[in-house]
Amino acid sequence: MPDAPERTTSTDEPRFRYTPALAQQIELRWQDLWEERGTFHAANPQGRLTGPGGSPAQGDPYFIMDMFPYPSGAGLHVGHPLGYIATDVTGRFRRMCGDNVLHALGYDAFGLPAEQYAVQTGQHPRVTTEANILNMRRQLRRLGLGHDPRRTFATIDPEYVRWTQWIFLQIFDSWYDADAERPGPAAGKGRARPIAELREELAAGTRPVPGHDGDNTGGAVWAGLSELERRDVIDGQRLAYVDSSPVNWCPGLGTVLANEEVTADGRSERGNFPVFQRNLRQWKMRITAYADRLADDLDLIDWPDKVKSMQRNWIGRSVGANVRFDVVGTADQDPAGAAGTLEVFTTRPDTLFGATFMVVAPEHPLLDEVPAAWPDGTRSAWTGGYETPAEAVAAYRREASAKTAVERQADAGKKTGVFTGHLAVNPVNGEQIPVFTADYVLMGYGTGAIMAVPGGDERDHAFAEAYDLPVVYTVEPEGGLPEGHTGAYAGEGVAVRSANDEISLNGLGVAEAKAAIIGWLESKNIGEGTTTYRLNDWLFSRQRYWGEPFPVVWDEDDRPVAIPDAMLPVDLPDVPDYAPRTFDPDDATSEPEAPLGRNDEWVNVTLDLGDGPRTYRRDTNTMPNWAGSCWYYLRYLDPAETTAPALAGLEQYWLGPRHNATSGPAGGVDLYVGGVEHAVLHLLYARFWHKVLLDLGHVTSLEPFGKLFNQGYIQAYAYTDSRGQYVPAAEVEGDEQSGYTWQGQPVNREYGKMGKSLKNVVTPDEMYEQYGADTFRVYEMSMGPLDLSRPWNTRDVVGSQRFLQRLWRNVVDEETG
RNA sequence: GCCGGGUUGGCGGAACAGGCAGACGCGGCGCUCUCAAAAAGCGCUGCCCGCGAGGGCGUGUGGGUUCAAGUCCCACACCCGGCACCA
């Protein structure tokens, strides 16, 4: 029982009433005691981290976690702690039930906003970030969260960076063996293996050399390669690799971005700047190798369906077939010979007999060379009015490349295109069909080329209608297509008009027909069943300062060399100017320039990496913000561990599939609470890293997060005056009926986020001061279900205050104490 | 268009397994305390009719199942979120 507070006002309030002042006194006292006693220390089954008073681990392990915060300069508003309060309540409940609860909070401290804040304030990002973390710690401690304070860390801590870089090197030093059996619970085919094993197998000749024809028996092909060629083969197989392909270049941010960071209308998620496709040499991670496992293992985890479906959508698995069409030479070239082949991907190989033309993306390499003249039978509508295919194709390519993502979306449905002059041979019936280029076919998906079946696909049908191309229906529903049917028929049915001398699909259902035609294509070696994904490899390098440097140097042959583990971490150097080099947001021709490149002494180093001192160039990129958050859950197990990101025994105890089964058959964190905005970013990347670590034997759980819960957002009202300027929401008076006013003038109410610029921020500090942390916590938990978004109303908080007062009165006499 | 989630008083929301709809909180009204106000406490508060007793209506809309439906089934409308020319 605390002493009665000094009376600070002249009221006649009872001495022992539960007032904000008394609440604060109680809260601070207990917060100090919890810290002193280590009340919320979670006990590891081994090692230095024991429970309160040195107690050993007892009860079922229960690992509960929040998506860790980004220490922004603005400090917290009342929306931020919502999830932390919820996990605290759950964690305390489980602890009371006898579980060994692990609950801690670290800080995700690299990244663009921290860097931008530092640039604005003219201070080094480390200075501002550390100050922000301190402020956030203070605000959160006052909330009274039952966290284990020994387990906190920030992603910018050099010891944390060491292990982030170490994991990067594990990925860099791995390749994906699609045929290898996975051991243990991950059973199936395909896993990451150390790159050294690839080299051994190539040298021994037990594996063909990728990208090189020829029989590698006894390592014959391998032996014929120079050391540089060998390194190129190896580097081409790594799970972290550098290559030059179209990437998202964002001049406004001065960096390239991952697909997941670009919105559907072609802008950066952060800053909303235009993003351009450019061929640039960048680091990527081979997440596509894990596409199937990332999709399939969603069945093993307890996540909201919404998030699962977003991930499935993003991965975008389609099962179908690749089919190769011969492209014939035209009259002026070589009328007899084939000019090449055109490979397409289709999910409906059963409709091959209905393919009456082909379409390739404007960027397709087939268009680099086109026939000199229009072939016989070319219709004027196909040529775009040009004299030659070359002119027509060039004009269309120009047009297409000038289109922005927004324009392209707006035009979706309207079909434009032009005949390329090429003719392809439909392998099932020998018919020569025209090859068009059109922007409704995307280079980034499948093979960038399709067989068009206007009888079975609405887009192809629209194109066929616009360019007067023949329509053949090869699938009909039971009872046939209705009289006068127009448009494509994409439904179930049986194959018709689908037979040649060797194979007949007629009468088969869609699934059987697919299987039959794939068998035939494979027997003729002109196609095979295959699976295509929408997911692309993860673009992993950024041209910014405030991130983890790549633990890689480049040798005199311009090949990447890993920094040995013993030399980690590679610290961020001091550079004269850490500001990113940004550009006119619309200037697509600008070139990225990494701030780390501004320090020649750092960039050019002499190192002894095992074969004597040599000079190298450091990699000047930094990792994306996601790197640190890809594995932080592992670091809570013991942030001071010096031999591994996390000890195997601890990982098994806290994350392994287990007994109380709260985390499900895949293991992972028992409860992970955070916003839905990371559905295809952090949550996909972290799953990918975890599976690589699993393959390499560093973890035993199949998934990092067994159960996920998305909390809603606390929203708020904001008010604008007649000029549209925001006015301080706290000073607005009135209600819905009588209208709202600020300083006597009427204002407009809007509903949305809480934010500085909207002048409607309410801070936890104000709540501690006016009501106490417990009232604040009760209010947030009683506003409504956690997964819903709802409005903050400061005046409603008093209800929770009265509730606690009533509770208090039931236990304590307000007059006597 | 496809996928996911919703729709209950003036407002946020509750109703767990089909069993008294509207818990709890805000707001509103009345009262107590006070010279007064604030704070706090007590009572009332879904809508309509009625002085009242009381009556009627009521969970987006229309149907259905059931002794009984916010809850189950069918159809529709609207709102929010995600994806979208992905072959």
A478 CB below 7 A from strand B atoms: no
In whole angstroms, what is the distance from residue A256 CA to residue A311 CA?
23
Q: Strands A357-360 and A432-437: what pairing?
A: parallel
> Which residues, other chains included, contact A482 with Cβ-Cβ below 8 Å and sequence gap of 6+?
none
A573 neighbors A599 (Cβ within 8 angstroms): yes
Q: From CA A426, how far away is CA A344, in angstroms rounded?
A: 12
| Nucleic strand B near CB of residue A738 (< 7 Å) | no
Do residues A699 and A656 make contact, with C-beta atoms less than 8 angstroms apart? Answer: no
A347 Cβ nearer than 7 Å to chain B strand: yes
Closest nucleotide C1' to the C-alpha of A14: B40
Residue A667 CA, nucleotide B5 C1', distance (Å): 27
Which of the nucleotides lies closest to A405 (Cα–C1')? B85
**What tokens were used for A320?**
């179908």
* ipTM reported for the complex, 2 dp: 0.91
d(CA A695, CA A194): 10
Nearest to A401 by CA among A435, A433, A367: A367
Q: How far is the CA of A64 from the C1' of B19 (A)?
A: 38
Residues 6+ apart with CB under 8 A from A735: none
HSE-CB for A459 with a 13 A CA cutoff: 14
Helices A682-695/A305-315 angle, 10° precision: 70
C-beta within 7 A of nucleic chain B, residues 527-546 of A = 532, 534
The secondary structure of A650-702 as a DSSP string is: HHHHHHS--TT-TT-TT--BSEEEE-GGGTTTHHHHHHHHHHHHHHTTS---S
Give the burial class of A722: count Cβ atoms within 10 A of its Cβ; 0-12 exposed, 13-18 middle, 19 or more buried. Answer: exposed
Rounded Cα distance between A98 and A92, Å, is 10
Can you spell out the DSSP letters for A709-733?
EE---EEEEEEE-TTS-EE-GGG-E
Give the nucleotide at minimum CA-to-C1' distance from A11.
B39
Structure tokens that stand for A376 in this block: 């016989």
Task: List CB contacts of A83: < 8 A, sequence separation 6 or more.
Answer: A66, A67, A673, A674, A675, A711, A786
What does DSSP assign to residue A597? G
A313 touches strand B (CB under 7 A): yes
Burial annotation A665-692 (CB, 10 A radius, 16+ → b, else e): bbbbbbbbbbebebbbbbbbbbbbbbbb
Residue A639: is the preceding peptide bond cis (ω within 30°)? no
pLDDT on residue A660: 56
Instruction: Give CA angle at A725 (A720, A728), nearest 5°.
Output: 65
Give the SS3 label for residue A369: coil
Distances (CA, A) of A408 to A256, A264, A266, A412, A445: 22, 11, 10, 6, 16
Residue A185's pLDDT is 73
- Of A766, A720, A768, the closest CA to residue A745 belongs to A720
- Asked whether residue A320, judged by its CB, lies under 7 Å from any atom of the DNA or RNA strand B, the reply is yes
Q: Are A318 and A291 in contact (CB under 8 A)?
A: no
**Nearest nt by C1' to A9 Cα:** B39
Does residue A805 approach strand B to less than 7 Å at its CB?
Answer: yes
Q: Which helix (H) or strand (E) holds A740?
A: strand A739-742
Q: Could you tell me the two tokens for A380?
A: 């004027």
* Rounded distance in angstroms from the CA atom of residue A180 to the C1' atom of nucleotide B55: 78
The answer to whether A41 and A50 have CB atoms below 8 angstroms apart is: yes
**Stated in angstroms, how far is A231 CA from B22 C1'?**
72
Across all strands, nucleotide nearest A439 (CA–C1'): B85
| A440: CB within 7 A of chain B nucleic strand | yes
- Helix, strand, coil percentages (3-state) for chain A, rounded to 5, are 35, 20, 45
In the 3-class helix/strand/coil scheme, how is A167-179 assigned residue by residue? Answer: HHHHHHCEEEEEE
Counting Cβ atoms within 10 Å, is residue A478 exposed (0-12), middle (13-18) or buried (19+)? exposed
Q: Exposed, middle or buried, A734 (CB in 10 Å: 0-12/13-18/19+)?
A: middle
- Return d(Cα A266, Cα A323) in angstroms, integer: 31
Q: Which regions of A473-584 does DSSP assign to beta strands (E)? A: 475-476, 494-495, 527-532, 538-539, 552-554, 560-562
Bridge-based pairing of strands A560-562 and A527-532 is unpaired
Q: Token pair of A772, please?
A: 């106490």
In strand B, which positions have an atom below 7 A from any protein CB? 3-5, 10-14, 24-27, 38-42, 81-87
The tokens of A651 are what? 């990982």
Q: Tell me how far CA of residue A174 lies from CA of A197, A238, A666, in angstroms.
A: 9, 6, 23
A290 and A189 in contact (C-beta within 8 Å)? no
Please list the alpha-helical segments (H only) found in A18-156.
20-37, 82-96, 112-121, 125-141
Lookup: nucleotide whose C1' is closest to A416 CA: B85
Which nucleotide is closest to A447, CA to C1'? B87
Q: Which helix (H) or strand (E) holds A231?
A: helix A227-235
Output the distance from A788 CA to B62 C1' rounded to whole Å: 29
Using alpha carbons only, what angle is made at residue A407 by residues A406 and A413, rounded to the nearest 5 degrees?
Answer: 110
Q: In this complex, which residue's CA is closest to the C1' atom of nucleotide B33?
A: A12
Kindly give, in sequence order, each residue whose CB lies less than 8 Å from that of residue A795, ignoring residues fewer than 6 positions away.
Answer: none
Q: In b/e form, how buried is each residue of A330-350, taking b as 16+ CB within 10 angstroms?
A: beeeeeeeebbebebbbebbb
DSSP helix/strand/coil, A741: strand
Find the nucleotide nearest A260 (Cα to C1′): B83
In three state form, how does the secondary structure of A111-151 look?
A: CHHHHHHHHHHCCCHHHHHHHHHHHHHHHHHCCCCCCCHHH
Two tokens, residue A226: 């120079």
Altogether, the residues listed in chain A come to a count of 817
Name which of A660, A638, A667 is nearest A650 in CA terms. Answer: A638
Residue environment code for A197-233, b if the CB has 16+ CB neighbours within 10 A, otherwise e: ebbebbeebebbbeeeeeebeebebbeebeeeebbeb
Q: Give the angle subtended at the CA of A518 by the CAs of A342 and A533, to the nearest 5°.
A: 65
Q: What is the pLDDT of residue A789?
A: 86
Contact assessment for residue A217 and residue A201, using Cβ atoms and an 8 Å cutoff: no
* Cβ of A783 less than 7 A from strand B: yes
* Statement: the CB of A803 is under 7 Å from strand B: yes
- Residue A202 has what pLDDT? 96
Q: What's the rounded Cα separation, in Å, for the pair A271 and A251?
A: 11
CB of A729 closer than 8 Å to CB of A738: no
Contact A525, A141 (CB under 8 A): no
Between the CA of A150 and the C1' of B83, what is the distance in angstroms? 42
Q: CA of A671 and C1' of B64: distance in angstroms?
A: 41
Per-block average pLDDT, block size 10, for chain A (817 residues)? Answer: 41 77 92 96 95 93 93 87 94 93 96 86 92 93 95 97 98 96 83 97 94 88 95 97 90 91 84 87 95 92 90 92 86 52 94 96 91 90 92 92 76 87 94 94 91 93 93 89 82 91 94 95 95 92 95 96 95 88 90 92 92 94 95 97 96 82 80 90 95 95 93 88 87 74 83 85 92 93 88 90 87 80
Q: Which nucleotide is nearest to A736 (CA to C1')?
A: B10
Bridge pairing between strands A61-66 and A671-674: parallel
* Amino acid at the residue A92: R
